[in-house]
């Protein structure tokens, strides 16, 4: 890629917010006037259609949002959305992996119909997406941050997106005017771009759709100095299932390569470095993709904190038991993962404050979610992909002043599949008939009687691939979950979600659950028909995948042709 560093916003200084802090009198007066006029204009448009801000982070587990669970960290700003609006305790994804989740969100269609079944293929831009429809209906549209589609988004007046997974430090951005490197930390920069567009980029006479999409807390979890200094001092409670031996489940759980002890890399993930690693027999890939983007000063600050932690570890490593090593890796994982979320939370606060200050909050729907959940040591794992709770569920918080009653908890089963129709209904735009979700508006307005969903469908495809999670599809009701693993395995699992919330006991072969297993199988087949999925499509995608010649490279990433 040909990178040029271009000046996108000549008057906008990312670091010191010159645009918000006019120093000289005349300039200040002009800016104040512009601001006052635009506030006035906003008040006019606010009466018309609501603005929509869709905040999504990447791999943010609900276990790491204090509105859900405060045992790991505090996220006061994200929690504000729940306090002022609604928290969903049973929100899930249809396919727990990044770009497929994004494709489902934009199209309102399951992966098997929008075609983006895995992270490896490009998104088919002939799909109709809800931002295109909102744009046609007069919305200003913008996207900042991580998309991960392999191509640029359609239906956006403005976008600045990260190439592929993006980087934490001094990241590149793809823009309409070319590619550029922006100095700083990705979470702060994504917010700066967002605030700058809100302040200076949009047409203030129109309602807007803003997609504000964080890279964090995606692997390899490189926090900002302020937060790694704080979080590397912390110790976190161990999850109940950290030492799960997968004994009652099919071989899919055991053969997955996302175990903290066996598959989390001491180097890349836990940030160990130096020649001493060779002498200790640690031959894992070295952390370079992230650290080599740091400035000299950033790198020195990093080494000053991580150096002593690593020295201490390397002294103890030779005598550590597997259990001790698991716990050490878990703690280091949590320190870095959660520290990247602290930056997200701080920046969500900046955005919410901006909306309040500019009197935009009242007519703006703010959604906070993640592209999927994540394992924070549960079942001994990191990563996602499985239909088990921690990666199947995703955080979902929505505020919409004067519409959603503040502090509401909603336990209905909703999915990322529902966003497109929800946003279209909020904007008063008719959704295309082939969208497959359900608008959440009745739930947001407290009209639960209008909600009749009793089961949801899930389908994961990316296998064989990194983390080795087998292909599977399944159905969940509030009480049970049935999963079918296929491809090079044919295994069924059934969980009693009420009696076994940790999903440790597969009761598929338990005679006491025979009728329930049959009932769930019938329902699963009905959902496959309803959503137009089938064995023919499963085989079609397997053949397509084989043609892609997916291979693992030496540096652990995947290449497809």
Which stretches of the chain bind ligand SGN, using CB under 6 A?
58-59, 97-98, 119, 148, 165, 218-220, 383, 466-467, 556-557
| Residue 95 buriedness (CB in 10 A; 0-12 / 13-18 / 19+) | buried
- Confirm if 179 and 3 have CB atoms less than 8 A apart: yes
Q: What is the spatial distance between Cα 81 and Cα 364, in angstroms, rounded to a whole number?
A: 12
Nearer to ligand SGN, 97 or 414 (CB): 97
Of 399, 252, 340, nearest to 59 (Cα)? Answer: 340
In sequence order, the 6+-apart residues with CB closer than 8 A to the CB of 148 are 98, 99, 102, 119, 162, 164, 165
390 binds, among ligand SGN, Ca ion, none (CB under 5 to 8 A by kind): none
- Confirm if 191 and 212 have CB atoms less than 8 A apart: yes
Nearer to ligand SGN, 57 or 232 (CB): 57
Nearer to Ca ion, 98 or 174 (CB): 98
Q: Establish how many alpha carbons lie within 13 A of residue 202's alpha carbon, considering only the half-sphere containing its beta carbon.
A: 29
Token pair listed for 390: 């921690």
Q: Which residues bind Ca ion (CB under 5 A)?
A: 58-59, 98, 371
Which H/E stretch holds residue 37?
helix 25-46
Least distance in angstroms from the C-beta of 162 to ligand SGN? 11
Nearer to Ca ion, 244 or 371 (CB): 371
Nearer to ligand SGN, 63 or 361 (CB): 63
Nearer to ligand SGN, 75 or 119 (CB): 119
378 binds, among ligand SGN, Ca ion, none (CB under 5 to 8 A by kind): none
Nearer to ligand SGN, 119 or 326 (CB): 119
- Confirm if 63 and 372 have CB atoms less than 8 A apart: no
271 binds, among Ca ion, ligand SGN, none (CB under 5 to 8 A by kind): none
Nearer to ligand SGN, 58 or 192 (CB): 58
| Residue least distant from ligand SGN (Cβ) | 98
- Confirm if 560 and 121 have CB atoms less than 8 A apart: yes
Least distance in angstroms from the C-beta of 372 to ligand SGN? 7
383 binds, among ligand SGN, Ca ion, none (CB under 5 to 8 A by kind): ligand SGN
Least distance in angstroms from the C-beta of 68 to Ca ion? 18
Nearer to ligand SGN, 97 or 476 (CB): 97
Least distance in angstroms from the C-beta of 444 to ligand SGN? 27
466 binds, among Ca ion, ligand SGN, none (CB under 5 to 8 A by kind): ligand SGN
220 binds, among ligand SGN, Ca ion, none (CB under 5 to 8 A by kind): ligand SGN
Least distance in angstroms from the C-beta of 58 to Ca ion? 4
User: Per residue, what are the HEC states of 96-146?
Assistant: CCHHHHHHHHHHCCCHHHHCCCCCCCCCCCCCCCHHHHHHHCCCEEEEEEE
Is the Cα torsion angle 86, 92, 98, 102 positive or negative in sign? Answer: negative
Least distance in angstroms from the C-beta of 164 to Ca ion? 12
Least distance in angstroms from the C-beta of 202 to Ca ion? 28
557 binds, among ligand SGN, Ca ion, none (CB under 5 to 8 A by kind): ligand SGN
Least distance in angstroms from the C-beta of 40 to ligand SGN? 42
Nearer to ligand SGN, 121 or 140 (CB): 121
Q: In whole angstroms, how far apart are CA 1 and each of 99, 128, 362, 554? A: 21, 28, 42, 21
- Confirm if 181 and 4 have CB atoms less than 8 A apart: no
219 binds, among Ca ion, ligand SGN, none (CB under 5 to 8 A by kind): ligand SGN
| Residue least distant from Ca ion (Cβ) | 98
If you write DSSP's letter for every residue of 163-214 in order, what string do you get? STT--SBS-EEEETTEEEE--SBHHHHHHHHHHHIIIIIS-TTS-EEEEEE-
Least distance in angstroms from the C-beta of 74 to ligand SGN? 24
418 binds, among Ca ion, ligand SGN, none (CB under 5 to 8 A by kind): none
Least distance in angstroms from the C-beta of 534 to ligand SGN? 25
- Confirm if 390 and 375 have CB atoms less than 8 A apart: yes
Q: What is the spatial distance between Cα 387 and Cα 256, in angstroms, rounded to a whole number?
A: 13
Least distance in angstroms from the C-beta of 558 to ligand SGN? 7
483 binds, among ligand SGN, Ca ion, none (CB under 5 to 8 A by kind): none
Alpha helices in 233-370 (DSSP H): 251-255, 276-279, 296-316, 322-357
Nearer to ligand SGN, 134 or 252 (CB): 252
């Amino acid at each position: 890629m040909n990178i040029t560093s271009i000046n996108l916003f000549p008057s906008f200084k990312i670091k010191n917010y010159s645009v918000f802090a006019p120093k000289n009198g005349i300039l200040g007066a002009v800016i104040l006037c512009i601001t006052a006029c635009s506030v006035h204009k906003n008040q006019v448009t606010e009466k018309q259609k609501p603005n929509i801000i869709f905040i999504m982070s990447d791999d943010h587990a609900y276990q790491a949002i204090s509105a859900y669970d405060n045992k790991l960290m505090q996220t006061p700003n994200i929690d504000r959305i729940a306090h002022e609006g609604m928290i969903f305790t049973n929100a899930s994804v249809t396919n727990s992996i990044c770009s497929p989740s994004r494709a489902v969100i934009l199209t309102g269609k399951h992966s098997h119909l929008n075609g983006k079944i895995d992270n490896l293929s490009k998104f088919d831009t002939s799909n109709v997406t809800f931002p295109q429809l909102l744009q046609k209906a007069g919305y200003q549209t913008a996207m900042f941050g991580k998309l991960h589609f392999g191509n640029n988004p359609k239906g956006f007046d403005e976008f600045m997106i990260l190439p592929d997974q993006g980087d934490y430090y001094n990241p590149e951005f793809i823009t309409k005017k070319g590619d550029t490197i922006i100095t700083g930390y990705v979470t702060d920069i994504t917010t700066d771009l967002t605030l700058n567009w809100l302040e200076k980029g949009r047409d203030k006479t129109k309602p807007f759709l803003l997609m504000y999409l964080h890279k964090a807390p995606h692997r390899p979890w490189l926090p900002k100095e302020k937060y790694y200094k704080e979080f590397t001092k912390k110790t976190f409670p161990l999850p109940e299932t950290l030492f799960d031996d997968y004994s009652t489940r099919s071989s899919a759980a055991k053969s997955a390569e996302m175990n903290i002890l066996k598959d989390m890399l001491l180097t890349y993930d836990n940030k160990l470095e130096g020649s001493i690693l060779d002498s200790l027999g640690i031959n894992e890939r070295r952390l370079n993709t992230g650290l080599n983007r740091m400035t000299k000063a950033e790198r020195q600050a990093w080494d000053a904190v991580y150096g002593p932690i690593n020295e201490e570890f390397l002294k103890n490593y030779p005598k550590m038991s597997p259990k001790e090593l698991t716990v050490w890796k878990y703690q280091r994982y949590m320190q870095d993962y959660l520290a990247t979320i602290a930056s997200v939370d701080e920046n969500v606060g900046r955005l919410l404050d901006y909306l309040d200050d500019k009197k935009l909050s009242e007519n703006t729907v703010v959604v906070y979610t993640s592209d999927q959940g994540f394992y924070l040591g549960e079942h001994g794992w990191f990563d996602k992909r499985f239909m088990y709770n921690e990666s199947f569920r995703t955080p979902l918080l929505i505020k919409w002043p004067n519409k959603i009653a503040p502090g509401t908890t909603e336990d209905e089963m909703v999915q990322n599949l529902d966003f497109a129709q929800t946003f279209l209904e909020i904007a008063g735009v008719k959704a295309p008939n082939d969208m497959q979700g359900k608008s959440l508006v009745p739930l947001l307005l407290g009209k639960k009687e209008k909600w009749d969903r009793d089961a949801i469908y899930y389908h994961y495809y990316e296998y064989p691939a990194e983390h080795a999670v087998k292909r599977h599809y399944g159905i969940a009701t509030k009480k049970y979950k049935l999963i079918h693993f296929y491809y090079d395995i044919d295994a069924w699992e059934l969980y009693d979600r009420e009696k076994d919330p940790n999903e440790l006991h597969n009761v598929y072969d338990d005679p006491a659950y025979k009728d329930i297993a049959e009932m769930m199988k019938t329902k699963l087949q009905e959902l496959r028909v309803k959503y137009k999925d089938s064995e023919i499509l499963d085989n079609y995608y397997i053949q397509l995948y084989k043609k892609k010649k997916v291979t693992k490279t030496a540096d652990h990433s995947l290449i497809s042709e």
